[in-house]
Amino acid sequence: MADAPESLPPEMAAALAAFERHLRAERSLSPHTVRAYLGDVSSLLEHAHRAGVQAPDGLNATHLRGWLARQHASGAARTTLARRGAAARTFTAFVHRRGWLAADPGPQLGTLKTRRTLPHVLRQDEIRAVLDTATRHAEAAAATEAAGPAEAGPQAAVALRDAAVLELLYATGIRVSELCGLTPGSFDHARRTVRVRGKGDKERTVPVGVPALRAVTRWLDQGRPALATKSSGPALFLGVRGGRLDPRTARRIVHQRLREGGATSDVGPHGLRHSAATHLLEGGADLRSVQEILGHASPATTQIYTHVSIERLKSSYRQAHPRA
């Protein structure tokens, strides 16, 4: 549990601690979202405290608006302001329900509209080149180490892991945090699916392609035993010291392998997710199916990929048509 800022009065610090427990246990938010919300609310409470507020019951809309105005004046982006406003509304609603705030000022804050930028996606030939390069690296490392037919050495094991990570992220469109939470038992090889636990602790089943399953099987058979230790547990992907692969390392792996594969943009793991969704739609998948695969709560979130596909179509048209 995070420590409350030392400058906060006891009642505010207690409310912040209770809010953290609520986010983790009742809302089942990801650790990243919890950290972001706690940082935002801590900042709000410090701002209110400087204005003379000693407890949550002293918060009002003026404090919330003044806090966001300071953030805006300091140059915070619209997306950041929108997230901080959402964190503030979530907190005031929580303390109101607990009876620590007579009237909830959150709804008076309104919702800041953000300008959604189209995500950058890799072309299908770029993805193919990246995945082929990762596979060749794995095969070359295994041949160089010549560790025997059953088990790869550490360098080959890492290369096998990285190839499986890339294949699985693109094949399924899952989030990097979801990838790191997988176990070998998450897969149904007969049905070619994987069970994923996503945001809000919600579980969904996602289809997996044959190349990704083949890469995962090769990692499990030849790579994982070389890195596994007594403390590895059931984790599917492991770090070089045998612990469960963490999201930060997984992101570094993807950035490195994208560069090695000659990708024109260093889009990272979320870029592979964007690319998978866009390529599904370009291939004829319907929006509802893509929404379920990605684990989006609202179709509006998935809708942006239709705009990406349209923009790519227009770009191709302008380049190819003689009278465009």
Question: What residues act catalytically?
Answer: 175, 199, 270, 273, 296, 305
DSSP string over 151-187: ---HHHHHHHHHHHHHHHHHHH---HHHHHT--GGGE
The secondary element (H helix, E strand) that includes residue 307 is helix 299-320
Amino acid at 217: T
DSSP string over 214-244: HHHHHIIIIIHHHH--TT-TT-SSB-TTSSB
- Kind of pairing between the strands at 193-197 and 203-207: antiparallel
In sequence order, what are the residues at sequence separation of 6 or more whose Cβ sits closer than 8 angstroms to the Cβ of residue 324? 317, 318
